[in-house]
Copies of this chain bind each other. A is one copy, B any other.
Amino acid sequence: MKKVTLSNQLEVSRIIHGHWRLLNWNLSTKELTELTQSIIDLGITTFDHADIYGNYECESAFGKVLKEKPELRNQIQIISKCGIKLISEKYPNRKVKTYDYSYDHIIHSVENSLKNLETDHLDLLLLHRPSPLFDPVEVSKAFDDLKSTGKVTHFGVSNFSPMQFEMLQSECNFGLITNQIEISPYNLSAFEDGNIDFFLQKGINPMAWSPLAGGEIFNPKNEKGKRVLDELKMVREELGVMQLDTIIYKWLLKHPVGIIPIIGTGKLSRIKNAVDSLEIEMTDEQWFRIYIASQGEELP
């Protein structure tokens, strides 16, 4: 599979495997190890985590795979995130969900992720969400120390606006190499809020979470969803492709900004649907038809 080098710094696979719902897959460590090996064999070498996924348990589940088969570690790139403090029985003192980008929390969260993931470094650390109580000076200090101790090799953000990206970048001593945001045929907000324009300007590859809109595209609950599904089906027929997922991933992959979709399924067959999208062609008009179906009106 083709690789992408984020900001000339970190090579990741053109498609990323997301571990958000890893616990839902109900796999034994052995099964998850086999799945992981199969995914790597398909060319997907980048895995997306966060401290909070699975109520703080997904990292450990994957860590068991890496403990079982440590030779996998240098074949893959691990992404994790920090900054959200969930309400959880693990943290009984918390009254509400908050964000925390203090130096101490960032350092502590990464050290915990490393322990859970049974690894000595993250290839990429993302700040999970922008916070109204944010101090870029403090974040930059944490990044410096994580970098110099080798605990994290590259840094980025998630769900940031262009202004927030520039604000943090202006304080950081090294480039933020990605912004992981929601993009799908169902969710076009990145095209409207300036993020896609910003990425094109800065040469940043965004990562796309919820590329299938959390299943909304396959089981539409409103008119917009039905329009998108109908159009996807028509394009699928025109292209002679078997699966709708393949069309959706192709729609993301075709964009010149270089969107890297994060695939959150534990089923190998569906992961193959995504990989198939790298081999098909889609015309500009087909791309626009899906975009227009989502918008619900013709272009101005």
Are B98 and A299 within 8 A (Cβ)?
yes
Enumerate chain B residues within 8 angstroms of A201, measured Cβ to Cβ.
136, 163, 166-167, 170-171
- Mark contacts of A197-228 with chain B using CB atoms, 8 A cut-off: 1 yes-contact digit, 0 otherwise: 11011000000000000000000000000000
> Chain B residue with minimal CB distance to A98?
B288
Q: How far is the CA of A171 from the CA of B291 in the complex (A)?
A: 25
Interface centre among A102, A167, A170, A197 (most CB of B within 10 A): A197
Are B95 and A132 within 8 A (Cβ)?
no
> Chain B residue with minimal CB distance to A285?
B98
Are A288 and B96 within 8 A (Cβ)?
yes
Q: How far is the CA of A61 from the CA of B224 in the complex (A)?
A: 42
> Taking the complex as formed, is A188 at the interface, i.e. its CB lies under 8 A from any CB of chain B?
yes
Enumerate chain B residues within 8 angstroms of A99, measured Cβ to Cβ.
288, 299
Are A300 and B163 within 8 A (Cβ)?
no
Enumerate chain B residues within 8 angstroms of A130, measured Cβ to Cβ.
197
Q: How far is the CA of A163 from the CA of B166 in the complex (A)?
A: 13
**Contacting residue for A300 out of B102, B129, B162, B194, CB 8 A:** B129
> Chain B residue with minimal CB distance to A298?
B97
Q: Which of A229-258 contact B (CB under 8 A)?
A: 254-256
> Chain B residue with minimal CB distance to A95?
B285
